[in-house]
A = this chain, B = another copy of it.
């Protein structure tokens, strides 16, 4: 089934913070239409994380390509009394006509490195802030968290089970997509499977088991519907007794020329139970039957199972992935870095920015990332370094057609990128990121602007 994301609008035009529009009204009043550049970046990694994974660009580009205020939107805005008719007329005509340079989805990155930079007439660049931020923020968190699960699983099967506890329906779709981008094998989310071309997967529910007089009857009934490859959920009453019932049904299936897929353990000490379940299955001659586990898993629980050499063939990962439980939000910012061609700077306590459009250069040695450099965009290339921000939109049009391959390509890119990270950066506990340097030219322009601002403040205060 073909993925369909291109046909789904990313967000309604009114989904934005009010101040984007009041600011735009004021720019309009003052005839300010020159191009500005905004940079989206994260200030810090969450504790224990070694890198970020860029994600969400595809939805950003769809949003920018389809952004348009309709008559109902304008009627509502008119009713607030905050906007003039000439400005509302402008909004009615407004389309995004700017350009975007961005890290491609699946690229790893570090604090202070721009994920994307938007250059457009300042009203356009301002208005798109909320949704651009919202989508890149969510998807970067989830792709990064999922990449940690993939690292922990060491090649074992991973399935996204998060939909019931993701924050709403949009997050449900995006979590499934980002988990797959990061290397998950499948999702329980049927709509995400259809829309993004992800393999759908699932087992059975406790309620199914309890809808039959006993566990064996339930297992036999499910095996009648799905006689080959089915996974039976064995912990409704007692995990090991359930595994024995599953093994009995597995032998019955084998006798009839079919095969049991395996069992799923969803509660208790999954590592300890998996050893016992493996023995029960093996003793029943069901050496091919797999053991799948779920229940409060995250990268640390997965790593514990893998390190214990538990005979677990796959993991269903739900809530803790779906909400990124240890880091549900990032210290991210969408900052004005250039206005009418001039670099700008913000000095708020703890929230200072780096001025001007930028490039990120990555240097590898022996296939391993050793350092990144953040430079001004107009600096000459750094020899033997790869520039990471690439043009992805110009004059409001995508530069590369969105295809069914968009997600698959990002998935392959991430696998390659993670393989190029130093082991010290990939590890789950106490990771160390490669060095990220600022170029002398960037430091120079920042110092020049900062001294200018400080002098300006001093004069004002003395006046």
**Which positions in A face B, CB cutoff 8 Å?**
1, 10-12, 14-23, 25-27, 29-30, 32, 36, 38, 75-77, 79-80, 82, 122, 126, 129-131, 133-135, 137-138, 161, 163-174, 188-191, 193-194, 200-208, 210-211, 214, 216, 221-222, 224-226, 235-239, 241, 244-245, 266-268, 319-320, 322-325, 328-330, 332, 334-336, 339, 344-351, 453, 456-457, 460-461
A200 and B26 contact, Cβ closer than 8 Å, known pairs A168-B168, A323-B323, A339-B211: no
B188, B190, B194, B328: the one contacting A325 at CB < 8 Å is B328
Most B CB contacts (10 A, CB to CB) among A18, A80, A214, A336 go to A18
Contact B122 A211 (CB under 8 A): yes
By the criterion CB–CB under 8 Å, are A25 and B225 in contact? yes
Whether A172 lies near B134 (C-beta < 8 A) is: yes
Query: CB < 8 Å: which of B36, B202, B267 contacts A18?
Result: B202
Oligomer copy total: 2
CA separation between A133 and B14, bound complex, in Å? 27
Q: Which of B138, B211, B244, B345 is in CB contact (< 8 Å) with A167?
A: B138
Do A134 and B169 touch across chains, with their CB atoms under 8 A apart? Answer: yes
- Is the pair B339, A328 in contact by a Cβ cutoff of 8 Å? no
A122 and B212 CA atoms in complex are apart in Å by: 12
A344 to B135, CA, bound (A): 42
Would you call B22 and A204 a contact (CB within 8 A)?
A: yes
- The contact sample of 6 A-B pairs, CB cut-off 8 A, is A16-B191, A22-B204, A29-B225, A130-B163, A134-B163, A206-B335
Q: Which B residue sits closest to A36, measured CB to CB?
A: B211
Q: Which of B235, B324, B456 contacts A348 (CB 8 A)?
A: B235
Q: Which of B11, B26, B453 contacts A169 (CB 8 A)?
A: B11
Give 10 closest A-B pairs by Cβ, nearest first.
A168-B170, A18-B202, A19-B202, A167-B167, A207-B336, A26-B225, A167-B171, A323-B328, A168-B171, A14-B191
Nearest Cβ in chain B — how far from A221, in angstroms?
5
Pairwise interchain contact B461-A206, C-beta atoms closer than 8 A: no
